[in-house]
Structure 1
Amino acid sequence: MSLTPSSIAGPAGEHADLTPPDAPGDETALDSSHRPRLTPFVLEYWKSDDKWKALALLAITLGITFFTTFLTVKANQLLGAVTDALVDRQWRALLLAFTASVGVGVVSGLVTISNVAIGQVLDLRWRSWLTDRLLARWTRASEFYDIERDGLLKNADQRIAEDVRLFTDSFLNMFTSLIAVIADTVTFAVLLWSLSKTLEIRLFGSTWVIYGYMVYIAFAWAIGGLLVTHWFGKRLIALNMQRQGVEADYRYLAMQLRENAEQVALYGGGAREHRRLTERFELVKRNFLQIVGRNWKVSMAQTAYGRLFDPLNTVAALPLYFTGQVTFGGMTQSASAFGSLKSALSFFSQAYIGFVQWLAVANRLRDLDSALSMVEARGRGGFTVQHTEQTEIVTSELRLLAPGGELLTVTDPLRFRAGERWLIRGPSGAGKSTLMRAIAGVWPHGSGTVSLPRRASILFLPQRSYIPSGSLAAALCYPSEPTRFEEPQLKEALALCGLARLSESLDVVDQWQQKLSGGEQQRLAFARVLLHQPDYVFLDEATSAVDPATEQALYETLIRRLPRTGVISIAHRESLAAFHDHTLQVIPALGRAHSIA
């Protein structure tokens, strides 16, 4: 059931299917020929209304990062002073240098902790902004329904709930780490350039002089490590995208079993559900083992490469010491600076796995953004739903199609007036429910014009009513807030629909969708109609789960309490004809739906 749908309109967007072809369980129906770039999606927040606060927090974080780099350089200088004081047995100088070194370490630790807290606040602001934006687009009009109906994307809810958190947290960690690495790289490259002085190499009768040779060695080592990591880890992007999908599908299947426990139990379907869950978990296991194997290869390659060049720090500094260009403390300082530069440059290979995990999450969110843009641009397809000042629901000839393009039926122009009661009849599959969806503005397949009264309220009751978890009062008042109605109104509506026994449970929080039987759920939906008193109500097999006597009582109450409400019912039962003064016969395929007075 929903309120009168608002128009669906939005800017045209680019679309993409970035899911790897070997990723079962996370397929999308997005057109892979329309691939939006990732950069604009990442930068959206930094151009939003919150950008100044975000940039201020980011500036503080970067300022602390640069200050930490300065402290690291200072610690490197103090290390050389401590070493020389030890060699020369200058105890006073040693004490002063050691005390200063401890002070630098304490300050560095304190500012690092503060930087983490500030980064977490920035992460929360970005996550909140992106979550609010995606939720607003996903729940606006019928976008969530359009995506599910047309199979454009899987697990949209999981992408908003989980992927957004991973996206913002990982990006900020990588970005701030990258800035720190750049600062450390520049700083220690300059420091090492001055410390490593010159290296003379006699080769083929010539003397070659290399300035800052240790810097070149460090960069060559880092480039080699990155190439090795990429060679073994390039498949991790596809595997991590697949992981998000199969994990989400497994959780969704388990959730379906929990939400439909009674139906499965009555079917005796426990064994079948066990097989389905086991089969889905096999995909999770297979993907997990593939990731473990690939991570193992990457880690082994990185470890072997690192161990192979482990002594490089000291070996690279030895020529300076043996040629007498530096003292032992100077050699220690050079080796330490070389190690710091190596550590900074190793970020690119060490962060490779984290980067590909983030890239997989970013691609999934980009797919969600593309799917939302697609349904926003599509609107209502071939239907035009407009709001006018008239008080009637009027349609042109409506051509209703199935999602695959097959013709369901064609209706003559329709006119529903306030207070009229229409019964829509026809065989199953003729397009009766599709007609209601087209009028509600949630069916894009077909063509025609629907004019809805701007000032009228319209409720749509599907056969299976939606009852959100929470208090019974909130479920009864849906889609309005529970504060809209007084408690006596709620109790009266329940009593009129044969649910008086629930009157004392209005404040009870529970999974009412599972607690109430099918008939009780439909009676609760009728109680919602009595509360909201709409100008028009569409009932799609809304009494199929109740007995004939209850059905008669519900319709009699509806007509008596809301005599000015237009009632349009979709039903198969002949008994309902007595409560309606107009009939619309829907004929499938090449026939035309026509009204019978």
Structure 2
Amino acid sequence: MDRLNFKVFQQFWAIAKSYWFGDEKWQARGLLLGVVLFLLAYTGLSVVLNNKRGVLISALSARDEPRFWQTVTIFIAVLVLYAPLLAGYRYLRDRLSLQWRRWLTNRFLENYFSNRAYYHLNTSNTEIDNPDQRIAEDVRSFTQESLTFLLVLVESVLSVIAFSGVLWGISQPLVFFLVLYALVGTIVTTVVFGKPLVRLNFEQLKKEADFRFSLVRIRENAEAIAFYRGEERESQQIQHRFLEVFDNVKRLLLWELNLNVLTNAYEFIPFVLPALVVAPAIFAGEMEVGKVTEAQGAFVRVFFSLNVVVARFQALTTFGAGINRLYTFAEFLEKPQDNQTVDAPDSLTEATIQTVAADRVAVEHLTLETPNHQRTLIENLSVELQAGQGLLVMGPSGCGKSSLLRAIAGLWNTGRGTILRPGPDQILFLPQRPYMVMGTLRDQLLYPNTHIQVDDQRLKQVLQQVNLADLDERFGGFETERDWAEVLSLGEQQRLTFARLLVNQPKYAILDEATSALDLDNEEKLYQHLQAIGTTFLSVGHRPNLANHHQQVLQLSQDKTWQIRQPLIFRQEQLELIELP
């Protein structure tokens, strides 16, 4: 997007129409009607106030005291109505903006989490950066600025209609000159400043988001950076990103300077021209002095109403850049995520893994590829998890162990073959990196089924099973909220996530190096508890002793081949390799 054109309005309407024609359309339209009615009344009173300002000047000039006090009384009465009308207009406008933001944010969040779009966004080769900013900031800006510009446009139309009648009665040439003057100014401003300002504002939104994201990463990875003593490297990177923000703002300020010079000179004429036009009639005694004030007020209102594009051009270009960012994000979210491939040749896009609902977990003739189809990891794999037993997946780094889990979870579908699996409510995945949710200790234990009811005694029993017996007491109970990723060690986090298995007791469990930070004793106890609840599980790991807790071992190789091994034989081979000099 590099210019302010009709495409922007198409993108705007594509985002906006769902709210105004959706399930909350009557509430939205009702609020909008209320805002317009307030605006209509406010504009009418503005015409009356403008007229009475002129009458006040005329009364003073003619030394007509009764007329003066009569006008003051009317003026005060109008102001009594004017003030609450203006306040009510602004309240309804902001309330409608808030309602719209709530609805649109919920819609984006629903699409963001639907079909794991948030995951595909991070793993696909897309130019959509900083989705957090687009949901939090761009949605807010979209709703607020949309209403602002709409109501400014409505107010401008009402002002042109109301005050043009005033001007027409004073001087008809003023009306014709005004329309021509505003039209020329709008065309010149749009043609000269449109393209560069939209481009620079688009870049500014992106660079500000990148700078903020880099600061968030420091907070999230503070300990790792401290261990590496990476302060200098991180500081240089953040300073570099801020320098990009700084340089872009400098270019933006230069264009804004030129725009302000033009608009300031352009907007000076309306304050002088009305006096020049009506002066001869006043000097000839054909018109009251107050008509200068009335004509000037009406002329300024009509001029700035016709001149709305020039007056708000900088804000319009920023708004246009935000519309484009939000539109491309919405477009990505509304695509079927499961069928998306990235930079894949057309001949390969049809090769996808089929997932079939079943009461078991198995893969049949599975050939697994990376999402971009550039590399084949596993060829023609067929294996099934036996009910109540464990399958261990092992092999060298990069052979496709974790990728196999992604395919079973439905995160990857590039390749060929079939995956049979039950519904997601029957499988619990423990990823390699423990995930600590924002919430209470109870939420950590129940996740992802935080809605279920489990009494404290059962939770304490599970904590004892994973060797975290005093965890609730240490932090003040199960309703305590902490930044658990910060206050717990990696080993404690792994044991806590393992406790989720014991609380939820799923039919199937998939563990990706879920005990890599634990000692052998803790690891053995956890697997014993897992076997005791009868869960069928698949594990990925590197430690040979993991074979003791599984009934089968799937050994993957770098050459895409695989074989099923018996745990005892596999364990003996690994020990022999370790003992070799």
Query: Structure 2 length normalisation: TM-score?
Result: 0.89
Structure 1 residues 20-51: Cα deviation after superposition (integer angstroms, max 9, x where no partner): 9xxxxxxxxxxxx9x97332212221011101
Residue 356, structure 1, aligned to residue 317, structure 2? yes
The 2-side partners of 1:374 and 1:502 are apart by: 44
Q: Paired residue for 1:383?
A: 353
Please list, as runs of the form range in 1=range in 2, the aligned pairs for 1:508-547 lying within 5 A after superposition: 508-547=480-519
Residue 121, structure 1, aligned to residue 90, structure 2? no
Q: 1:403 aligns with which of 350, 366, 371?
A: 371
Residue 48, structure 1, aligned to residue 16, structure 2? no
Structure 1 residues 492-532: Cα deviation after superposition (integer angstroms, max 9, x where no partner): 11111111131313333211112212111111111111111
Q: 2:206 aligns with which of 221, 238, 245?
A: 245
User: 1:233: how far off?
Assistant: 5.2
Residue 58, structure 1, aligned to residue 26, structure 2? no
Q: Paired residue for 2:166?
A: 191
The 2-side partners of 1:134 and 1:548 are apart by: 45
Q: 1:352 to 1:261 in 2, by over 3 A?
A: same
- The answer on whether the counterparts of 2:441 and 2:472 sit within 8 Å (CA) in structure 1 is no
Q: Paired residue for 1:214?
A: 174
Q: Which 4+ runs in 1 deviate beyond 4 A?
A: 322-325
The RMSD of aligned alpha carbons is 2.3
The 1-side partners of 2:340 and 2:458 are apart by: 38
Structure 1 residues 337-375: Cα deviation after superposition (integer angstroms, max 9, x where no partner): 222212322322111111111111111111110111235
User: 1:128: how far off?
Assistant: 0.4
Q: 1:105 aligns with which of 79, 91, 99?
A: 79
Residue 574, structure 1, aligned to residue 544, structure 2? yes
Structure 1 unmatched ranges of 5 or more? 1-17, 21-32, 197-211
Structure 1 residues 2-33: Cα deviation after superposition (integer angstroms, max 9, x where no partner): xxxxxxxxxxxxxxxx489xxxxxxxxxxxx9
Compare relative contact order (CA 8 Å, sep 6+) and give the higher one, 1 or 2: 1
* 3-state DSSP of counterpart to 1:316: helix
Q: 1:445 aligns with which of 414, 422, 429?
A: 414
The 2-side partners of 1:306 and 1:163 are apart by: 31
The 1-side partners of 2:315 and 2:520 are apart by: 62
User: 1:104: how far off?
Assistant: 1.6
- The answer on whether the counterparts of 1:146 and 1:375 sit within 8 Å (CA) in structure 2 is no
Q: Paired residue for 1:274?
A: 235
* 3-state DSSP of counterpart to 2:413: coil
Q: Paired residue for 2:431?
A: 462
Q: 1:481 to 1:143 in 2, by over 3 A?
A: same
Structure 2 unmatched ranges of 5 or more? 342-348, 567-581
The 1-side partners of 2:138 and 2:510 are apart by: 38
Q: 1:195 to 1:313 in 2, by over 3 A?
A: closer
Residue 176, structure 1, aligned to residue 151, structure 2? yes
The 1-side partners of 2:467 and 2:297 are apart by: 81
* 3-state DSSP of counterpart to 1:413: strand
Please list, as runs of the form range in 1=range in 2, the aligned pairs for 1:247-326 lying within 5 A after superposition: 247-307=208-268, 310-321=271-282, 326=287
Q: 1:547 to 1:296 in 2, by over 3 A?
A: same
Q: 1:309 to 1:82 in 2, by over 3 A?
A: closer
Q: 2:196 aligns with which of 227, 232, 235?
A: 235
Residue 423, structure 1, aligned to residue 400, structure 2? no
Structure 1 residues 389-424: Cα deviation after superposition (integer angstroms, max 9, x where no partner): xx2113322221113311111242232232021011
The structure richer in helix per residue is: 2
Aligned residues: 547
- The answer on whether the counterparts of 1:467 and 1:475 sit within 8 Å (CA) in structure 2 is yes
User: 1:110: how far off?
Assistant: 1.6
Structure 1 residues 121-142: Cα deviation after superposition (integer angstroms, max 9, x where no partner): 1111100000111111111231
The 1-side partners of 2:77 and 2:425 are apart by: 73
- The answer on whether the counterparts of 1:228 and 1:302 sit within 8 Å (CA) in structure 2 is no
* 3-state DSSP of counterpart to 1:142: helix
The 1-side partners of 2:270 and 2:50 are apart by: 22
Query: Structure 1 length normalisation: TM-score?
Result: 0.87
Q: Paired residue for 1:340?
A: 301
- The answer on whether the counterparts of 1:469 and 1:513 sit within 8 Å (CA) in structure 2 is no
Q: Paired residue for 1:167?
A: 142
User: 1:454: how far off?
Assistant: 4.2
Q: Which one-letter code corresponds to 1:280 in the other structure?
A: R
* 3-state DSSP of counterpart to 1:82: helix
- The answer on whether the counterparts of 1:317 and 1:335 sit within 8 Å (CA) in structure 2 is no
Q: Paired residue for 2:116?
A: 142
User: 1:158: how far off?
Assistant: 1.6
Q: Which one-letter code corresponds to 1:248 in the other structure?
A: A
The 1-side partners of 2:262 and 2:194 are apart by: 10
Q: Which one-letter code corresponds to 1:463 in the other structure?
A: Q
The 2-side partners of 1:151 and 1:260 are apart by: 24
- The answer on whether the counterparts of 2:367 and 2:381 sit within 8 Å (CA) in structure 1 is no
Q: Paired residue for 1:207?
A: none
Q: Percent identity?
A: 32
- The answer on whether the counterparts of 1:69 and 1:184 sit within 8 Å (CA) in structure 2 is yes
User: 1:224: how far off?
Assistant: 3.4
Q: 1:583 aligns with which of 553, 556, 559?
A: 553
Q: 1:446 to 1:324 in 2, by over 3 A?
A: farther
The 1-side partners of 2:288 and 2:424 are apart by: 89
Residue 392, structure 1, aligned to residue 360, structure 2? yes
The 2-side partners of 1:288 and 1:251 are apart by: 16
Q: 1:421 to 1:37 in 2, by over 3 A?
A: same
Q: 2:326 aligns with which of 360, 365, 375?
A: 365
Please list, as runs of the form range in 1=range in 2, the aligned pairs for 1:86-97 lying within 5 A after superposition: 86-97=60-71
Structure 1 residues 259-288: Cα deviation after superposition (integer angstroms, max 9, x where no partner): 111111111111111111111111121122
Q: 1:274 to 1:57 in 2, by over 3 A?
A: same
User: 1:466: how far off?
Assistant: 0.6
Q: 1:51 to 1:552 in 2, by over 3 A?
A: same
